[in-house]
Amino acid sequence: MSNKIKVGMLGIGNVGRGTYQALEMNHDKIAETTGLDIEIVKILNRRPQIDRGIDIPKDKYTADVDEILCDPEIDIVVELIGGIEPATEYMARALSNGKSVITANKAAIAANGKKLAALAQENHVLLRFEAAVAGGIPILTSLTTALLSNRFTGVHGILNGTTNYILTQMSEYGKSYEEALKDAQIKGFAEADPTADVEGFDAANKLSILISLIFGVDASPEVIPTHGITSVGINDIEFASDYGFRIKLLASAREKDGKVYGNVEPVLLPLSHPLASVSNEFNAVFVSGNAVDDLMFYGRGAGPLPTGSAVLGDIIGVARKIEKDSAYDIVPQLRYDSGLEFAGEGANKYYIRMMVPERTGILGKISTIFGEHGISVETVRQNSPYECSGETVADLIFIVFKVEKSELLSALEEVREAGVIKSIDSIMRVEE
């Protein structure tokens, strides 16, 4: 005889539909393997007149959130409306009312996870958010269960399917950024307003959550240096390919000497790195632990059913705790107590592309300025000259050895002020 677990769901958009559908598809299998009879009994639907493209009994819908948050029969509230508010307020109210909360909302967890986790603990209930990082990939559960014995030294993630799709189309089919973005929008991989994805903000929210789980450090998205992909040009992609690299938007963090360094930016990855072959809309997370060594998780980071699978996994996990009445002994996933400090980007190897006039002496001047800043050049290359605004110019490309980003930027400012170049068009980290 299965134990009934009643779930209230807020929102019936892409992930709401995917979660409902995944439960419909696999309800009997879940009951068979876990003994749990999970039912989504109420759904917040603010526009019940709209066809949601899924067959759901009308009496499950309510436009009044209190019918879910205050229903004593409901054990678990699943928040799938997105955005920071009112999602945070609804989750806080559900937790205060003694209900466990599951969400796919990285923006709300990155902004208010600390407050919500404390509220969950106070009320002896659970807060879970597997779907918030890398969609269908069970990275958070793995880090906090099977991999808990490890001390992690680093994490690198391709955490945004939209930008990975655009960069793949640029590298593999020679499309411009604009063409690749349009294509992503037509195929449903990019939103009409792609800002949060292409500027790296979405990946920064996810990295903030990973840093808390992996390193026990509070690094809010605002303090994580974040650069998107809008300035990546075809010239960069070609150079990367000629020199055995692929450009990926990476969300990375690593620990060294008591400090955690991290950022989100387009990076030149050697083709031999496992993340270099992660193409199109797929996501992947590469973690290094001191016992398990290197490990890569790969899969769909978005989409109704893959994300619904992660939400449903959390529902089953929480339902099992409720069934055993053991929610109170669960350690929160988010941690901020390791004593490590978040210290920004740290020293890295960099790629720099600048446009210069066709003139002698420029390379010497730039090398002198780099030398004065302690910057050593590993590779320099000048591409064939071309015409730009009636002038003959060329792309000058450097790879420089490890340097603090602030030092590099101050050297480049001096190069700019010396008036010997037209523009600095690209600065990217080179992953070793």
Ligand X SMILES: NC(=O)c1ccc[n+]([C@@H]2O[C@H](COP(=O)([O-])OP(=O)(O)OC[C@H]3O[C@@H](n4cnc5c(N)ncnc54)[C@H](OP(=O)(O)O)[C@@H]3O)[C@@H](O)[C@H]2O)c1
Nearer to ligand X, 163 or 348 (CB): 163
- The minimum distance between CB 108 and ligand X, in angstroms, equals 7
Q: Choose among 129, 120, 11: nearest CA to 63.
A: 11
User: Interface with ligand X by CB under 6 A: which range of 9-17, 249-257, 269-277, 394-402?
Assistant: 9-17
Instruction: Verify binding: residue 46, ligand X, rule CB under 6 A.
Output: yes
> Which residue lies nearer to ligand X by CB, 23 or 356?
23
Q: CA torsion angle for 287, 217, 264, 351 (degrees, to 10)? A: -80
CA dihedral 269, 340, 128, 90 (to 10 degrees): -110
Among 7, 12, 327, 393, binds ligand X (CB under 6 A): 12
Asked if 216 interacts with ligand X (CB under 6 A), we say no
Least distance from ligand X to the Cβ atom of residue 105, Å:
4
| Phi/psi at 384 (5° precision) | -60, 140
Nearer to ligand X, 136 or 154 (CB): 136
Scanning 76-84, 214-222, 275-283, 287-295 for contacts with ligand X by CB under 6 A, the matching segment is 76-84
Whichever of 92 and 327 has its CB closer to ligand X, that residue is 92
Tell me: does residue 69 bind ligand X (CB under 6 A).
Answer: no
Residue from 154, 173, 427 nearest 279 by CA: 173
CB 292 within 8 A of CB 150: yes
Q: Decide: is 274 part of the binding site for ligand X (CB under 6 A).
A: no
84-90 LR contacts (CB < 8 Å, sep 24+) = 84/108, 84/111, 84/112, 87/10, 88/112, 88/115, 88/116, 90/10, 90/65
Q: Considering only the stretches 43-51, 383-391, 393-401, 411-419, report the one whose residues sit in contact with ligand X under the rule CB under 6 A.
A: 43-51
CA-wise closest residue to 97 among 116, 125, 78, 118: 125
Residue of 5, 23, 38, 81 interacting with ligand X (CB under 6 A): 81
Q: How far apart are the C-alpha atoms of 235 and 417, rounded to whole Å?
A: 24
Q: Minimum distance from CB of 85 to ligand X (Å)?
A: 8
Nearer to ligand X, 66 or 407 (CB): 66
Q: For the chain, what is the largest distance between any 2 Cα atoms, rounded to a whole number of angstroms?
A: 84
Catalytic sites, residue numbers:
206
Q: Using the rule CB under 6 A, which residue among 5, 6, 8, 11 binds ligand X?
A: 11
Comparing C-alpha atoms, which of 4, 3, 7, 11 is closest to residue 74?
Answer: 7
CB of 387 to ligand X, least distance (A): 44
Distances (CA, A) of 249 to 155, 167, 261: 14, 8, 16
Q: How big is the site for ligand X, counted in residues (CB under 6 A)?
A: 21
Q: Which is nearer to ligand X, 76 or 420 (CB)?
A: 76
DSSP 383: P
Q: Is 249 helix (H, G, I), strand (E, B) or coil?
A: strand
Q: Minimal distance in Å, beta carbon 233 to ligand X? A: 29
What secondary structure letter does DSSP report for 281? T
Q: Which residue from 4, 13, 290, 341 is in contact with ligand X, where contact means CB under 6 A?
A: 13
Beta bridge partners of 8: 42, 77
Q: Are strands 282-289 and 293-300 parallel, antiparallel or unpaired?
A: antiparallel
In angstroms, the CA 347 to CA 331 distance is 34
Q: Which two tokens stand for residue 146?
A: 């099977």
- Of 71, 116, 110, 73, the residue nearest 96 (C-alpha): 116
Q: How far is the CB of 203 from ligand X (least distance, A)?
A: 12
44 near ligand X, judged by CB under 6 A: yes
Q: Does 104 bind ligand X (CB under 6 A)?
A: yes
Radius of gyration of the chain measured on its C-alpha atoms = 24
List the Cα angle 180/183/186 in 5-degree steps. Answer: 155
Position of minimal CB gap to ligand X:
13
**DSSP single-letter state for residue 287:** E
Helix axes 201-215, 106-122, angle to 10 degrees: 30
Span of 5-13, 32-40, 110-118, 386-394 interacting with ligand X by CB under 6 A:
5-13
Give, as ranges, the residues between 292 and 351 that touch ligand X (CB under 6 A).
Answer: 302-303, 307
Comparing CB distances to ligand X, the nearer of 304 and 317 is 304
Which token pair is 365? Answer: 């001047």
Closest approach of ligand X to the CB of residue 93, in Å: 13
Note whether 15 binds ligand X by CB under 6 A. Answer: yes
- Closest separation in Å from C-beta 168 to ligand X: 18
The residue among 65 and 269 lying less far from ligand X, judged by its C-beta, is 65
Tell me which residues in 111-140 interact with ligand X (CB under 6 A). Answer: 131, 135
Residue 60 lies near ligand X (rule: CB under 6 A): no
What is the contact surface with ligand X in residues (CB under 6 A)? 11-16, 44, 46-47, 80-82, 86, 104-106, 131, 135, 302-303, 307
